[in-house]
Structure 1
Amino acid sequence: MTTSTARSSRGRRRSGPSHAVHRDRKGRRSLLGAVAALAVLGAAGFAAVDTGSSGAGAPHAGDKGGPTERARSGRAGATGPARGSRSPSPGPATASVSPGPTVSTTPEIPATGPGTFVTAAGGSTRVGSGTLLRYRVDVEKDIGLSAADVARQVERILADPRGWTADGHSAFQRVSSGPADFAVRVATPGTVDRICGEYGLDTGGEVSCDVGEQVMVNLRRWLLATPVYAHRVKDYRALIINHEVGHFLGHGHVGCPGPGRPAPVMMQQIKGMHGCLPNVWPYDGKGRYLTGPSA
């Protein structure tokens, strides 16, 4: 779906005005005029010194067009391309996968964290009539999120009748111990970069990924969404989960099916809507799968 470092901008010291000189009729410099010119020069040079700033913070991923990606090996998905058979699309250009600075308008979002996780306690009932897939919900430590709250939101998303259970092949149940088929993990941009990078993906501090039975959710996207969903952040969380779980199930990216139609959940909406309308569910209220041309 819906990764860049902000360059610091430093002002250059301006050169002051050329020394104004006054010559008397005999061509000699006026000492008084030279002293005044030096004072003007010193004031101008001092005023032009810039202590530097970090800019406006990292841009939204939608501005750069970074993809959410999947990378896995060994297993074919239920539908769509075989898992691990598709080369990941390139992320936005970055020098490395190290995290950029925190967003200046939301300094409470850490750029990176300890890389250790707490698993939400308890579990859920089974939803869906298909093959049961057990999952955990993990939240990186010390990032200000409640694992229990995140787990409740993920449960609601995966249980929605417009979600992946509508395919008739998938059922979900959250667990906190024992075997799990995959984990939904909310983590800082730096931790997402590191884990996704281990599978060859560049998330650049901005986007999420699905790798190694891990649905890695970027904390920045979880809290801020994207410009299209800026006032519908909880809806956007459904899009993140459904998109990445869709990759886990074997679905690849698709494009917009046409102007004015709902954007498929497997469309990289973070890169632009291309005339489609915002939509965060794989199926509509009548059980019809929402898709588009293969991307």
Structure 2
Amino acid sequence: MMRRRRTFAVGLVGILAVLGGTAYHLSGSSADAPVGAPTTQARAVPAAESPAATPPPSSPPAPAPAPTPVVEGKGLGTFTTVPANGPVAGKGSHLRKYKVEVEDGIGIDAATAAQQVQGILADKRSWTTDGKNSFQLVASGSYDFTVRIASPETVDKICATAGLDTGGEVNCNVDRQVMVNIKRWNTGSPKFSGPIEDYRALIINHEVGHRIGHNHEGCAGPGKPAPAMMQQIYGLDGCVSNAWPYTDTGKYISGPAKP
């Protein structure tokens, strides 16, 4: 039978010791020497004054921040049009006015999305550099096309009216609608290396490129930038991910024609 050793704890309650003008709370036991624990405003005790003090155990590493959740709501089938008008971007003679609409229920802020689309189409690496087209965000009145960000189900339904099978995964240009799949807008593509902002630029440049008459293109050679009109979601064929139809110096990034 194991004999239990009894330990008597001795507590000093309400006793305040003043050491060198600094207040300390004291606690102790029959087995340990008292250890001074400074209050919030107290000075630290030098090691020589507190030989029995031991450093506290190191804190466990802070957990990594949780990834930003991907919002992919079901979608209600109705759209909110952004009530905003922007300046004309580009000097091309063919002014293409466009609206931005976001499907209700998918968790995307329509005003923010419109700012992103507007910034993409106004970028000097986008289609304004062709010298033929200019773009302007409008809220109402006549327009050339609408950029619609929607749930995969709604994108599939609208794209199917033109006989296109988007399979819940990809975007399309149909009638006067540039249909953007929220899944691609939120997550990009595993084939595309780069920030999500760049992949969003690729979506808009590719589908608007169709809108203004461009067809699919392939990779021009290993290590070269992929054309914006390449279907990069299906693979790069040795090219490097690229979101823009033009370089910073105004050179068109082209590739061989594809069906």
TM-score, normalized by the shorter chain, greater than 0.5: yes
CA distance in 1, matches of 2:194, 2:233: 15
CA distance in 1, matches of 2:209, 2:225: 17
Which residue number corresponds to residue 246 of structure 2?
283
Asked if 1:269 is matched to 2:232, the reply is: yes
Which residue number corresponds to residue 119 of structure 1?
81
Aligned to 2:168, the other structure's residue is in SS state coil
Which residue number corresponds to residue 104 of structure 2?
141
Where is the helix percentage greater, Structure 1 or Structure 2? 1
Identity %: 54
Q: 1:172 to 1:113 in 2, by over 3 A?
A: same
CA distance in 1, matches of 2:69, 2:189: 14
CA distance in 2, matches of 1:251, 1:224: 25
CA distance in 2, matches of 1:210, 1:280: 17
Aligned to 1:223, the other structure's residue is in SS state helix
Which residue number corresponds to residue 195 of structure 2?
232
Aligned to 1:260, the other structure's residue is in SS state coil
Kept after mapping to 1: 8 A contact 2:227/2:245: yes
Residues 58-69 of structure 1 aligned to structure 2 (within 5 Å): none
Please point out which of 158, 168, 187 is paired with 1:205. Answer: 168
Q: 1:234 to 1:285 in 2, by over 3 A?
A: same
Shift of 1:108: 3.6
Q: Which amino acid aligns with 1:232?
A: P
Asked if 1:252 is matched to 2:211, the reply is: no
Structure 2 residue ranges without an equivalent (≥5) = 1-67
Q: Deviations over 1:134-171 (max 9, x none)?
A: 00000000111111000000010000001000000000
Which residue number corresponds to residue 91 of structure 2?
129
Q: Which amino acid aligns with 2:234?
A: K
Kept after mapping to 2: 8 A contact 1:224/1:230: no
Q: Deviations over 1:35-72 (max 9, x none)?
A: xxxxxxxxxxxxxxxxxxxxxxxxxxxxxxxxxxxxxx
Kept after mapping to 2: 8 A contact 1:229/1:235: no
CA distance in 2, matches of 1:262, 1:107: 28
Where is the strand percentage greater, Structure 1 or Structure 2? 2
Aligned to 1:229, the other structure's residue is in SS state coil
Q: 1:107 to 1:251 in 2, by over 3 A?
A: closer
CA distance in 1, matches of 2:193, 2:248: 24
CA distance in 2, matches of 1:127, 1:107: 31
Structure 1 residue ranges without an equivalent (≥5) = 1-104
Q: Deviations over 1:196-216 (max 9, x none)?
A: 011111101000000011000
- Aligned-pair Cα RMSD in Å: 1.4
Kept after mapping to 1: 8 A contact 2:192/2:232: no
Asked if 1:154 is matched to 2:117, the reply is: yes
Kept after mapping to 1: 8 A contact 2:192/2:233: no
Q: Which one has the largest radius of gyration?
A: 2
Q: 1:253 to 1:162 in 2, by over 3 A?
A: same
Q: Which amino acid aligns with 1:199?
A: A
CA distance in 2, matches of 1:208, 1:148: 21
Please point out which of 141, 145, 151 is paired with 1:178. Answer: 141
The runs of at least 4 consecutive aligned structure 1 residues that moved more than 4 Å come to none
Q: Which amino acid aligns with 1:194?
A: K
Q: Which amino acid aligns with 2:86?
A: S
